[in-house]
């Protein structure tokens, strides 16, 4: 099994027969960066995942997050708590890739998730998609590929070394189980204040 | 010794399925109108007008049934304004299937669960039913109306598991999501619960005294090799269950859905060239059919 980079030892990995490779599984709120030839996978309802890698030096990773539904009045330095949280999720991933040898100009990004899996809810998936797109536009990073929105959950398997992604759309039988997991994660996030300090490279 | 032990295990599981179904016995019941029609269909002495009389006994059913008979679902060329006429053009055994199909939503309303919304559950079932019916039209000797009903009922065991064993059922679904390898839900159920929704559904259908074709299609849709009386109909439901996922998820390649048992193509004499058309048609028909069978 490939060794995990420092800080990612807690992410569970298992052998995957379909891809003949090890794969790390990330949960809502987690991210994972690797320099090895291994996969990263996650299951997304209305959450979003950015798959980011340096095309030249084969370091990359994936995050999995959702903007908390906090009121926009909670501002800090002109940014709402939701935006600060989203920025956090994106910057942690990108900074760790840069820390491990990636270069900003070589970054390739793919976006997945943001499905509207619960009919009676406001479209939180779309809010997450819009945030991710705007964030990347501001950072000047182009989105190379995406499968976002619509009404189904997705399982995403990503190989940062090659950039290969497999997105499997999941049947509605899984909607509630995935939504429950995301709601639990959201409550956890909303219970914690988000500061403004992120180390920028 | 080994054989004896295996039998013991199978017997133990059957006992557990029986226990589950005893618990749901009072919660899911078939309506009188279906039971009465069913009895008459099986009775060689009964006439077409006996069946029409039984159907007319339930005015709400009559109204809905005539709506279905006059809809694009059948596409009959002229208006059907009496129950007698409906029974004669639809057919008697087909009327039994229709009565069953039209009552599934209310029959299972007493079995709620937190894992899937009824709307999502029945949408998948209805896609399966529509596609199974479309496929059956291309297979000589298969009754499209019977296969439609089989498709609509194929996952009823899931509703039993979700209601009676919610924690284990949730664990099965989580296991599927936890594995990047394509683990089908029924295999996860076998691993965690010891049996799967197809077995439970088949057993429920058997207890209800449903026609053997339905029992076999429900029980064997994930394991068509076990169907010995109605292998072609079972193969159609197996295929339709997978193609239904293409329709639901707007997918166009068979690589994106669980693999089909190649025996299903052989048994039905169909091949992949039919897929695009039946999936497209099902997507076109779903809204209207949903309104007919599940609307108020």
Q: What is the pLDDT of residues B245-257, one digit of tens each?
A: 999 999 999 999 9
Query: In the prediction, which pLDDT does B3 show?
Result: 46
A111 with A143: CB under 8 angstroms?
yes
B57-63 contacts, C-beta under 8 A, 24 or more apart: B57/B32, B57/B33, B58/B31, B58/B32, B58/B33, B61/B31, B61/B33, B61/B99, B61/B102
Query: In the prediction, which pLDDT does B181 show?
Result: 84
User: Can you list the positions of beta strands (E) in B163-290?
Assistant: none
Task: Provide the ipTM.
Answer: 0.89
Computed from CA positions of residues B275, B280, B285, B287, in that sequence, does the dihedral angle turn out positive or negative?
Answer: positive
**CB distance B116–A23 less than 8 Å?**
no
Cβ-based contacts of A173 with chain B (< 8 Å): 115-116, 120-121, 124, 158, 173, 185
Query: In the prediction, which pLDDT does B166 show?
Result: 97
B102 with B61: CB under 8 angstroms?
yes
Per-residue pLDDT of chain A (201 residues; tens, 9 = 90+): 999 999 999 999 999 998 999 999 999 999 999 999 999 999 999 999 999 999 999 999 999 999 987 656 667 777 788 888 999 999 999 999 999 999 999 999 999 999 999 876 678 999 999 999 999 999 999 999 999 999 999 999 999 999 999 999 999 999 999 999 999 998 888 877 665 554 443
Residues of chain B above pLDDT 70, percent: 96
User: Quick one: CA torsion of B97, B100, B101, B105, rounded to 10 degrees?
Assistant: 180
- Stretch B28-52: mean pLDDT, rounded? 95
Query: In the prediction, which pLDDT does A83 show?
Result: 86
Shortest CA distance to B149 belongs to which of B104, B199, B197?
Answer: B104
Distance from C-alpha of A150 to C-alpha of A116, rounded to nearest angstrom: 6
Shortest CA distance to B104 belongs to which of B151, B71, B170?
Answer: B151
**CB distance A174–B176 less than 8 Å?**
yes
Q: Which stretch of DSSP H or E encloses residue B190?
A: helix B185-192
* pLDDT of B212 strictly over 50: yes
Cβ-based contacts of B117 with chain A (< 8 Å): 119, 172, 175-176
Distance from C-alpha of B171 to C-alpha of B188, rounded to nearest angstrom: 9
- Stretch B48-58: mean pLDDT, rounded? 95
Which residues does residue A24 pair with via DSSP β-bridges, in sequence order? A13, A40
| Closest-CA distance of chain B to residue A74, Å | 34
Q: Pairing mode, if any, of strands A75-76 and A59-63? A: unpaired
Q: By CB neighbour count within 10 A (0-12 exposed, 13-18 middle, 19+ buried), where does B20 fall? A: buried
**CB distance A39–B120 less than 8 Å?**
no
Joined together, the tokens standing for residue A187 give 């409550």
The full length of chain A comes to 201
Residue the block writes with tokens 């990108």: A94
**CB distance B256–A41 less than 8 Å?**
no
């Amino acid at each position: 099994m490939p060794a995990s980079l420092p800080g990612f030892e807690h992410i569970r990995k298992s052998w995957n027969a379909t891809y003949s490779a090890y794969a790390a599984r990330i949960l809502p709120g987690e991210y994972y960066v690797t320099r090895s030839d291994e996969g990263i996978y996650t299951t997304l309802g209305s959450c979003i995942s950015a798959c980011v890698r340096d095309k030249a030096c084969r370091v990359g990773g994936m995050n999995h997050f959702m903007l908390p539904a906090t009121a926009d009045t909670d501002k800090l330095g002109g940014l709402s708590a939701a935006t600060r949280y989203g920025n956090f999720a994106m910057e942690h991933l990108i900074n760790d890739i840069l820390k491990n040898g990636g270069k900003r100009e070589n970054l390739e990004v793919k976006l997945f998730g943001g499905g509207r899996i619960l009919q009676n809810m406001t479209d939180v998936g779309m809010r997450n998609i819009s945030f991710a797109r705007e964030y990347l536009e501001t950072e000047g990073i182009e989105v190379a590929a995406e499968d976002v929105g619509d009404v189904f959950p997705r399982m995403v398997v990503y190989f940062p070394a090659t950039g290969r992604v497999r997105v499997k759309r999941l049947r509605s039988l899984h909607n509630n189980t995935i939504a429950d997991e995301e709601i639990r994660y959201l409550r956890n996030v909303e219970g914690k204040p988000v500061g403004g300090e992120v180390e920028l490279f | 010794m080994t054989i004896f032990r295996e039998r013991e295990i199978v017997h133990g599981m059957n006992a557990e399925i029986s226990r589950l179904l005893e618990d749901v016995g009072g919660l899911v019941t078939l309506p009188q109108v279906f039971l009465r029609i069913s009895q008459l269909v099986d009775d060689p002495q009964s006439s077409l007008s006996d069946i029409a009389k039984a159907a007319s006994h339930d005015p709400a059913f009559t109204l809905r049934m005539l709506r279905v008979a006059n809809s694009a679902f059948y596409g009959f060329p002229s208006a059907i304004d009496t129950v007698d006429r409906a029974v004669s053009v639809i057919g008697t055994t087909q009327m039994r299937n229709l009565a069953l199909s039209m009552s599934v939503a209310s029959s299972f309303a007493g079995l709620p669960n937190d894992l899937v919304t009824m709307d999502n559950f029945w949408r998948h079932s209805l896609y399966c039913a529509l596609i199974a019916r479309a496929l059956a039209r291309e297979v000589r000797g298969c009754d499209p109306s019977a296969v439609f009903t089989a498709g609509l009922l194929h996952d009823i065991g899931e509703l039993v598991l979700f209601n009676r064993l919610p924690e284990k059922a949730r664990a099965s679904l989580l296991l599927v999501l936890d594995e990047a390898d394509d683990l089908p839900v029924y295999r996860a159920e076998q691993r965690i619960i010891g049996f799967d929704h197809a077995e439970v559904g088949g057993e429920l259908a058997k207890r209800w005294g449903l026609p053997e074709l339905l029992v076999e299609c429900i029980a064997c849709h994930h394991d068509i090799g076990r169907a010995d009386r109605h292998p072609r109909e079972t193969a159609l439901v197996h295929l339709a269950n997978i193609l239904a996922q293409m329709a639901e998820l707007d997918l166009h390649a068979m690589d994106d859905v669980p693999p089909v048992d190649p025996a299903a193509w052989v048994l039905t004499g169909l091949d992949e060239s039919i897929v695009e058309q039946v999936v497209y048609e099902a997507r076109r028909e779903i809204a209207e059919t949903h309104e007919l069978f599940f609307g108020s």
